[in-house]
Each structure stands twice: as C-alpha cells, then as structure tokens.
Structure 1
Amino acid sequence: MRAIFFEEDDARAVVARLRADGFEARAERERLAGEDDDEDHPWAVVSDAPAFMLEVLVDTHDGWLDSEDDEAEEQSAPVEPLHLPTAPKRIKRPDLD
C-alpha cells in the first residue's frame, strides 16, 4: 500500500513511525500526471503495514491512501462474459411463445 502526502516532513514522520513499529517503509517522490514543477510533487510512503494503520496515519498527517494491489488485481482479473437472453422476455402475454 502507498500513502501519499504533500509535505516531506509528514512523509518522513510516517516512515519513522512505521519503522519504529517494526514495518518496512520508505518515502519517495510521487510524480503525478500533469505536474511540471519538481517541487510540487507529493511524497509517497510505501509500506507493508496493514491498511488500518496507514489509514490512521493518513488521517493524522492529511494524506490519502493509494492501493497498488487493488489496481493491479482489477486490471489482471479475467471477466466472465455476461449471459444474455436470445429473445425478448414476454411479460404481459406469456402464452404467445
């Protein structure tokens, strides 16, 4: 999971907290589409911590969660084709079949 923060201090504080709790965590610059100025890029904290812990830290430090795993699963999961009827369904006069 990734947590996104606009301030470097917030990202570093979250990394320090997660490492103190025994989880792996690192902060890196997150380049968003359309952002030209390198100073305006937000910070991403990538960690193996449970989602509920990241949610609490995101709420505390004004960030948001970005789940890489959910996006990958949605893109790679095969979708079964829909079962569509071959003829219209008669509602009012079923005796015409």
Structure 2
Amino acid sequence: MRAIFFDETDAQAVVARLRADGFEAALERERLAGEDDDEDHPWAVVSDAPAFMLEVLVDTHDGWLDEGDDDAGEHTTPLAPLDLPTAPRTVKRPDLG
C-alpha cells in the first residue's frame, strides 16, 4: 500500500514512524503524468503496514492513500488468454433463404 505526501519532511516522518513500529517502509518520488517540474512531484511511502495505520498517518501528515491497482498484477495469477474468433461471424437470416 502507498501513502502520498507533497512535503518530503512529512513523508520522512511517516517512514521513520513505520520503521520504529517494525514495518517495512520505503520512500520514493512519485511521478505524476503531465507534471514538468521535478520539484513538484509528491513523495510516496510504500509499506507493508496495515491500511488502518497508514490512514491515521495520512490524516496526521496531510497526505492521501493510494489504493490503486498498480501493483495488483504482481500478486495475482495471470488470467488465461481469451478464445477469440479468427474470422467474422456469418449471420444467416431464415426469411431470405
């Protein structure tokens, strides 16, 4: 799960708190689509801490929780490929035949 912060100090405080509580936590720069200025990119805290704990820290340090599906493919088994037709279907109208 990821927590996003615009202030680096807040993000570092969250990482320190999570590590002090025995969880893994890493700080990385979050690149937003369409954002040109590198200084405006927010900070992402990636952790294995429970969601409720991250929610409290996000509320305390003015950030938000990213519960997106970005990492979902890493933890799930891939789906089998679809069985698609190789040619268009022919539709016969009984009233013309």
- Is 1:67 aligned to 2:71, yes or no? no
**Contiguous gaps of at least 5 residues in structure 1:** 79-97
Look up the SS of the partner of 2:22 in the other structure: coil
1:2 equivalent to 2:2? Answer yes
Alpha carbons of 1:39 and 1:70: their partners in 2 closer, same or farther (altered >3 Å)? closer
Aligned length: 76
2:9 and 2:70 map into 1 onto residues whose CA distance is 27
The residue type paired with residue 23 of structure 2 is F
CA distance in 1 between partners of 2:11 and 2:44 (Å)? 7
Partners in 2 of 1:15 and 1:45 — Cα distance?
7
Runs of at least 4 residues off by over 6 Å: none
Unaligned runs of 5+ in 2: 81-97
Matched residue, 2:26: 26
Q: How many percent of aligned residue pairs carry the same amino acid? A: 84
| TM-score of the aligned structures, taking structure 2 as reference length | 0.71
1:87 counterpart residue number: none
Answer 1 or 2: which has greater helix percent: 1
- CA change 1:13–1:37 in 2 (3 A) is same
Map 1:21-60 to 2 at 5 A: 21-60=21-60
Q: CA RMSD in A?
A: 2.0
Give the aligned partner of residue 13 of structure 1.
13
CA distance in 2, matches of 1:71, 1:21: 24
Q: CA deviation at 1:72?
A: 2.7
For 2:52, the aligned partner's letter is F
